[in-house]
Amino acid sequence: MLLIPAIDLKDGICVRLRQGRMEEATPFSADPVAMAARWRDQGARRLHLVDLNGAFAGAPVNDAAIRAIAAACPELPLQVGGGLRDERTLEAYFAAGVRYCILGTQAVVEPAFVARACRAFPGRIMVGLDARDGQVAIRGWAEITPHRAVDLACRFAADGIVAIVYTDIGRDGMLTGANVAATRALAETVGVPVIASGGIATLDDVRALAEAARDCPRLVGAITGRALYEGTLDFAAGQRLADTLTGATG
């Protein structure tokens, strides 16, 4: 199971939010490239980048920072979300060196976009399902939809996505522990890999997810942000633990 550091970008700097609220952004670094290099040097095997402004604007805003990270860390696979609403944007990110693009709002409001993107960029498209009490939220988590996460996940899996990033909004940035049960249930239901996000605070949370992943092979990763920046979780120790429990070798 991969432990994936998150770099959330707002106004060109690294921040963390609480439950997706832009007004509760805590700045952590004014140098996103240096932050990416920090996690790379600690052994990260992938990074999760989010253009927070882009998620609300519906178009890339922090793309310069993302391109700079891709240029500085070409060996490090990047998965990027936030403001990805058309194929031109996807193509530009892939051309810049991004490995995966994560479709969020546009996947929900225009489901056919997912199938088109998967055909245009096979093996490169993920879908991010951000849920509160099982219901999917869109537009930077500002709008709760009537769609159940599991229903959309099954539909998009059939379209050819490579993974689902599942975020429990109620736990994101709160350091209250991951929603292991909901994440595992989703991974056991859909036919594609699932990456957990939201609430990871300590090695105990990594252990709980890794133990679930050991019995549920489709649970392949866990994204963590605030815990790394506030020091409640040591990245290298977390990845070693996940590797040990899931039998990974790097």
Residues marked as catalytic: 8, 130
DSSP output for the chain: -EEEEEEEEETTEEEEEETTEEEEEEEEES-HHHHHHHHHHTT-S-EEEEEHHHHHHTS-SSHHHHHHHHHH-TTS-EEEESS--SHHHHHHHHHHT-SEEEE-HHHHH-THHHHHHHHHSTT-EEEEEEEETTEEEETTTTEEEEEEHHHHHHHHHHHT-SEEEEEETTTTTT-S---HHHHHHHHHHSSS-EEEES---SHHHHHHHHHHHHH-TTEEEEEE-HHHHHTSS-HHHHHHHHHHHHT---
Is there a contact between 105 and 85 (Cβ–Cβ < 8 Å)? yes
Reading the block at residue 42, the tokens are 């600690």
